[in-house]
Amino acid sequence: MYLRLAKRILMESDKRLLWKLFYNMGLKGSRSVQLHKRRMKKGEYFPPFLYVSIINSCNLRCQGCWVDVAHKQQRIEPEAFHRLVNESKAEGNVFFGIVGGEPFMHSGLLDMLAEHPDCYFQVFTNGHFITDEVAKRLRKLGNVTPLISVEGNEIVSDERRGRAGVYDKTIDGIQNCLNNKIFTGVCTSLCQTNIDDLLQESWVDRLIEMGVMYTWFHVYRPMGPNSSPDLCLTPEQQLRARKFVVEMRAKKPIIIVDAYFDGEGGALCPAATGITHHINPWGDVEPCPIIQFSTDSIHEEGRTIKEKINGSAFLREFRELAADTTRGCIVLERPDLLANLVEKHGAKDVTARKTALPELKAMTVRTSQYNPGSEVPEKSWAYRIAKRFFFNDFNVYKGKDHSKASAPAMIQRGETIAANGSSSGQTSTLVELETGSLNSQ
């Protein structure tokens, strides 16, 4: 399998692009994680992987999206982008996730990325703007990997993404990248309507046949003004997804990315471990893309991004609270505690709609990737080793007791709390549903 993967990577991608990937992302990216670990030992935090939403606009209207895509366009302009990247480079960073909205709707995107040939960028996109000409430019740049989202088969995808023809245009975008031998990924947000089609060996095989080099299965999170809790996976389905990823990693010649588990299958939150934080199109620094609250901005003069993130009491207490509460996602599991933290720090609602706090307060306890007793360790030695050195909890959960405040613990006790503070000893329908599935192997 490893030989087949190596052969695919060598034969199907442009060699110059592979060198950039290996040197910028592989070697220098690994060093940036080691620097992060060293900083943590000194009690300092600056994430080696920053995610930057450079624009809020998008051509699609996907179900459950929490970005204010229909509001007046807001962008990170090139000058602010270059300052951010240069200040991050000074701390040893080289990798940046470029998010939106739809990043390719930012007219300056490719020129902005071209300014930093010593960095590596992963662009999260629906692929609709990747024409053959754009793909040729991406190939020329060499320091970009597009991660193109496919949300299901044609019918499901078009339904989830708001109109007919979305799927076909996305596949065209993928094909344009592959025709130009770009190292290309496909991601999917798993939910009730696509899990049976996409969490399948045949889907992974199809990606391999197409020439896709890596894939990433996210799990749908019900956030924002139009969240769809009915799309959420049950704990049983989340466990199924984890087992599938572990199986496929050991079997198929394609890289499978995930952000929520260490090599032993222990759950983690990348914002709690400090490996990543997020900057929104207004320049506000957020713990992660779905937590739309901030006390710090990249546009504030006089301090570097490292000083802002390291000096932010809100971000520091967020990491501590998240790590103290659960190994999973604090937003889903304990929105009440997060709402308290936001109010304590007077963190601004940094959405355009200005309803993020009521939305958070309307959420109830829900399970996330943390399912104690059901850890699924990696079967692939390569992932095990890579995670041991470069992607794990960095000891932020050491000595923490998650048997009280985490969602699994509360659900076992039959408790539920709405984030507006109202609590109940009575088990809600949601909790009943989830209790039955917790720990199921």
Query: Using H for helix, E for strand and C for coil, what is the string for the chain?
Result: CHHHHHHHHHHHCCHHHHHHHHHHHHHHHHHHHHHHHHHHHCCCCCCCEEEEECECCCCCCCCCCCCCCCCCCCECCHHHHHHHHHHHHCCCCCEEEEECCCHHHCCCHHHHHHCCCCCEEEEEECCCCCCHHHHHHHHHHCCEEEEEECCCCHHHHHHHCCCCCHHHHHHHHHHHHHHCCCCCEEEEEECCCCHHHHCCHHHHHHHHHHCCCEEEEEECCCCCCCCCHHHCCCHHHHHHHHHHHHHHHCCCCCEEECCCECCCCCECCCCCCCCEEEECCCCEEECCCCCCEECEECCCCCCCHHHHHHHCHHHHHHHHHHHHHCCCCHHHHCHHHHHHHHHHHCCEECCCCCCHHHHHHCCECCCCCCCCCCCCCCCCHHHHHHHHHHCCCCCCCCCCCCCCCCHHHHHHHCCEEECCCCEECCCCHHHHHHHCCCCCC
Using CB under 6 A as the binding rule, whether residue 315 contacts ligand SF4 is answered as no
Between 248 and 321, name the residue whose CB sits nearer to ligand SF4: 321
Least Å from the CB of residue 319 to ligand SF4: 10
- Residue 269 binds ligand SF4, judged by CB under 6 A: yes
C-beta closer to ligand SF4: residue 211 or 270: 270
**Size of site (CB under 6 A) for ligand SF4:** 10
Instruction: Give yes or no for residue 144 binding ligand SF4 (CB under 6 A).
Output: no
Question: Of the candidates 105, 113, 198, 329, which one interacts with ligand SF4 according to CB under 6 A?
Answer: 329
**Residue position matching structure tokens 């480079």:** 89
**Closest CB to ligand SF4 among residues 341, 376:** 341
Structure tokens, 132: 């053959």
The answer to whether residue 211 forms part of the interface with ligand SF4 (CB under 6 A) is no
If one asks whether residue 342 binds ligand SF4 (CB under 6 A), the answer comes out as no
Q: Shortest approach of ligand SF4 to residue 116 CB, angstroms?
A: 25
Based on the shown chain and the rule CB under 6 A, indicate whether residue 360 belongs to the binding site for ligand SF4.
no
Determine which residue in the list 246, 271, 309, 357 makes contact with ligand SF4, applying CB under 6 A: 271
User: Measured between alpha carbons, how far is 297 from 172 in angstroms, rounded to an integer?
Assistant: 37
| Residue 99 vs 331, nearer CB to ligand SF4 | 331
- Tell me whether residue 104 or residue 261 sits nearer to ligand SF4 (CB atom): 261
Instruction: Identify residues 213-232 at the interface with ligand SF4 (CB under 6 A).
Output: 221
Q: Which is nearer to ligand SF4, 166 or 419 (CB)?
A: 419
**From 67, 330, 342, 410, residue interacting with ligand SF4 (rule: CB under 6 A):** 330
Please identify, using beta-carbon distances, which residue of 255 and 288 lies nearer to ligand SF4: 288
- What is the rounded CA–CA span in Å between residue 112 and residue 378? 37
**Residue 288 sits in the site that holds ligand SF4 (CB under 6 A):** yes
Residue 285 found at the interface with ligand SF4 (CB under 6 A): no
Shortest Cβ 329–ligand SF4 spacing (Å): 3
Residue 200 DSSP code? S
Residue 350 in contact with ligand SF4, rule: CB under 6 A: no
Q: Which span sits near ligand SF4 by CB under 6 A: 240-248, 287-295, 299-307, 355-363?
A: 287-295
Q: Please select the residue that binds ligand SF4; options are 67, 256, 290, 360, rule is CB under 6 A.
A: 290
Q: Which of 331, 376, 410, 411 binds ligand SF4 (CB under 6 A)?
A: 331
Q: Which is nearer to ligand SF4, 62 or 290 (CB)?
A: 290
Nearer to ligand SF4, 55 or 341 (CB): 341
Site residues for ligand SF4 per CB under 6 A = 221, 269-271, 288, 290-291, 329-331
